[in-house]
Structure 1
């Protein structure tokens, strides 16, 4: 036997725990899938997709790169478009699956599932995850966790009660650059010194309201059964109160989560201002322009954090910036936005030379080469074999 091959070979379940395999935030625990059933391979994981819209399609495309993940079911109410499109993609990759409109029917009939990926609109969080957890399935749920605090609490309670895994799609937590910045640079080596201020933004040019093929429109009875007044509302649910949360929830939740993670604290206060500046207020009930200030009390002292969303200008795109008395860190999902600017004073220069020599900081060329690795190649670098921590569940006061 070739020992070198043995050392680098990754079990498919181990692969699913790796940060590299979680480009879209997907991760499942090794101990969660101990038994094989219905003739599947021992290291296969049978998954259902609940919600086959734009985000569901992104998650499917990511999962198709992960060995051992097999889609067995797709559930979506828009059979003539969303469901049909995802089924066509899965068929090309040889994933034999059943299709459903009613997710309860899927849970009743599809007994070969291990996990469900929930990518339905926010207002169906938390009903979909809770019912899937109670059916004995592990759940990956897209952000936002819920558009109601009570719904989020029900999800946590269901995960505790059933012992199933529940993960929310804050994918930056699975990004190797963010992990390195948080653990190695900020916490272990304190490269920034004391962080006193944070800023972040997501500026973009907003698109026109989403349309739909008229021949594929849902009938009014179906729309109302699932919580929508019209096809326009169904397609643009993110902008309607009671259905979505607008860009602060869609986009800001990811970035404000980074504030909390990197600072190891939750905000003690927040003040914000917003308005609908560019869009039709009738069809866009949430603000398209928001500016907010968060105040934190951290172990190192107070921190003020600013956050901005624009919908009529994309200047500087999206990023998070942490400003300390020794350096400033800019980090974003695209690697070209990652940068540290040192405050070179006194003898600090030699410290920075040491950081580079020791590999704590790397040049842009190396970062680019890392980005070019495939999902499987990255998985060989970053593998986590223990059960994902449940600290957020434990600490959440119910």
Structure 2
């Protein structure tokens, strides 16, 4: 079986297994129609839009971003797919008041997700929301409460759940018992992200094309640095969730999905800013442990030094190791490798292999395989919208995205406080720890108001 046959066969057979019914095919005349608005027109807003353009008969009616350059880039991308020119806005509230949307894509920095997504749901739209879904736990609770109150379909872009490779992993190794009893799962990233660990970066004048006050919104108003505009906002905890909330959320969500895990009993983390002086206030070193009954799920990242994993491609540098009595299963974005306990031969599949095994890997095909996963994730979202009356949830439903995001947020908080945390989603508190409970909701900069799960 060659690479294309392998990926395509899983995309068809696996989709039916995951969703319980057919999915739309890219290029099909059965493409569903939708009026779409996009809030956040930077890099990944564009990636998501292209996935919708491939799989949906989409008319983009609105674009919103306080960065005029981002708006212009996205207008050019939209022009390749439709003749109608979307209206543009700097303020998402004006966008939602001016147009009616079937779907709103929220691809803003993390600190905006809650206000953007809740307002879109209140305006009558289903939402395709970037991860992590929030910058604090109570924001996530509010997004979930709004989705259920307004009966909206909300797909979180933890798209690993739509990777056809993982369906094979789940059924062949995890559900079959081939690993035996699993007592530990180790998730990790050694991607480096060297630009984040650079030395001091000077403040800079705010460019004319950026409304930085609106971009900052409810977050603290920091001095402007040019790196913020070029995806570097993730290097600041004021706007995001650090490394674990950027790449770790994908790995932890993947493990939770494959093993059907809910809220952990406890979260603990160690680490810090150890390597060198940097403009970034994220943790360059972390080890977090999510405690489940008879199972630890850990996360580890280090943004410095040499990776312990031989590097063939960036996709090799982050993944998850399932450690069982009968062997270890390592799963990255495009590959799984099973190494049995004892003298047995290892086995596995690389999605980019020309021969359907672990050899003859063509890393030049990575973008195509990645696009296929993005396509399936959008298709699943559209199918969930069509089956709304049957209460069919999307594969990355907002509740699952909330749990995975909260695991990252609680890990950061545990490291900052220096103690384990036990979060109770029923009371929305950390029992016996008033300081941790208080910090489940971050202060908002006036005049913005933090959403309340009880009143959204």
Q: TM tier, shorter chain?
A: 0.7 to 0.9
Q: Answer whether contact 1:202 1:319 (CA < 8 A) is retained.
A: yes
Give the direction of change, closer, same or farther, for the CA distance of 1:220–1:269 in structure 2 (3 Å limit).
Answer: closer
- The Cα RMSD (Å) is 4.0
Q: How does 1:347-386 map to 2 (within 5 A)?
A: 363-364=357-358
User: Deviations for 1:86-145, whole angstroms, at most 9, x for unmatched residues?
Assistant: 11121123353221111111111112x210110111111211100100111000111111
Give the direction of change, closer, same or farther, for the CA distance of 1:147–1:198 in structure 2 (3 Å limit).
Answer: same
Q: Answer whether contact 1:71 1:95 (CA < 8 A) is retained.
A: no
**What corresponds to 1:303 in structure 2?**
295
Matching residue within 179, 183, 197 for 2:167: 179
Q: Structure 1 CA distance, aligned partners of 2:64 and 2:285?
A: 34
Higher strand fraction: Structure 1 or Structure 2? 1
Q: How does 1:1-398 map to 2 (within 5 A)?
A: 43-79=32-68, 81-94=69-82, 96=84, 97-111=86-100, 113-187=101-175, 189-208=176-195, 216=208, 218=210, 222=214, 227=219, 228-232=221-225, 234-235=228-229, 236-265=232-261, 266-278=263-275, 280-281=277-278, 283-297=279-293, 302-313=294-305, 315=307, 316=309, 317-333=317-333, 335=334, 337-343=335-341, 363-364=357-358, 387=387, 388-389=392-393, 393=399, 397=426
Please report how far the alpha carbon of residue 284 of structure 1 lies from its aligned counterpart in structure 2 after TM superposition.
1.5
Q: Answer whether contact 1:272 1:293 (CA < 8 A) is retained.
A: yes
Deviates most, 134-143 or 62-71: 62-71
Q: Structure 2 CA distance, aligned partners of 1:278 and 1:378?
A: 35
Q: Answer whether contact 2:144 2:398 (CA < 8 A) is retained.
A: no
Q: What SS class does the counterpart of residue 195 from structure 2 fall into?
A: coil
Please report how far the alpha carbon of residue 50 of structure 1 lies from its aligned counterpart in structure 2 after TM superposition.
0.5
Q: Structure 2 CA distance, aligned partners of 1:229 and 1:146?
A: 19
Q: Structure 2 CA distance, aligned partners of 1:193 and 1:52?
A: 46
Q: Structure 2 CA distance, aligned partners of 1:95 and 1:166?
A: 28
Q: Answer whether contact 2:206 2:212 (CA < 8 A) is retained.
A: no
Q: Structure 2 CA distance, aligned partners of 1:203 and 1:373?
A: 22
Q: Structure 2 CA distance, aligned partners of 1:237 and 1:155?
A: 22
User: Deviations for 1:130-182, whole angstroms, at most 9, x for unmatched residues?
Assistant: 01001110001111111111111111111111111112221111111123322
Q: What SS class does the counterpart of residue 139 from structure 2 fall into?
A: helix
Give the direction of change, closer, same or farther, for the CA distance of 1:309–1:160 in structure 2 (3 Å limit).
Answer: same
Please report how far the alpha carbon of residue 215 of structure 1 lies from its aligned counterpart in structure 2 after TM superposition.
5.5
Highest relative contact order (Cα 8 Å, sep 6+), 1 or 2? 2
Give the direction of change, closer, same or farther, for the CA distance of 1:127–1:101 in structure 2 (3 Å limit).
Answer: same
Q: What SS class does the counterpart of residue 338 from structure 1 fall into?
A: strand
**What corresponds to 1:12 in structure 2?**
none
Deviates most, 203-212 or 239-248: 203-212
Deviates most, 247-256 or 388-397: 388-397
Q: What SS class does the counterpart of residue 265 from structure 2 fall into?
A: strand
Please report how far the alpha carbon of residue 190 of structure 1 lies from its aligned counterpart in structure 2 after TM superposition.
1.8
Please report how far the alpha carbon of residue 294 of structure 1 lies from its aligned counterpart in structure 2 after TM superposition.
3.0
Deviates most, 308-317 or 241-250: 308-317
Q: Structure 2 CA distance, aligned partners of 1:98 and 1:223?
A: 19
Give the direction of change, closer, same or farther, for the CA distance of 1:198–1:45 in structure 2 (3 Å limit).
Answer: same
**What corresponds to 2:7 in structure 1?**
none
Q: Structure 2 CA distance, aligned partners of 1:229 and 1:377?
A: 36
TM value normalised by structure 1: 0.73
Q: Structure 2 CA distance, aligned partners of 1:136 and 1:19?
A: 28
Q: Structure 1 CA distance, aligned partners of 2:243 and 2:146?
A: 28
User: How many positions carry a matched residue from both structures?
Assistant: 344
User: Deviations for 1:202-261, whole angstroms, at most 9, x for unmatched residues?
Assistant: 112224369999765536655566643333284333233332111111111111222322
Question: Structure 1: which 5+ residue stretches go unaligned?
Answer: 1-14, 31-40, 354-361
Please report how far the alpha carbon of residue 185 of structure 1 lies from its aligned counterpart in structure 2 after TM superposition.
2.8
Q: Structure 2 CA distance, aligned partners of 1:367 and 1:234?
A: 36
Q: Structure 2 CA distance, aligned partners of 1:379 and 1:217?
A: 32
TM value normalised by structure 2: 0.65
Q: Structure 1 CA distance, aligned partners of 2:133 and 2:109?
A: 10
Please report how far the alpha carbon of residue 76 of structure 1 lies from its aligned counterpart in structure 2 after TM superposition.
0.3
Give the direction of change, closer, same or farther, for the CA distance of 1:342–1:238 in structure 2 (3 Å limit).
Answer: same
Q: Answer whether contact 2:289 2:298 (CA < 8 A) is retained.
A: yes
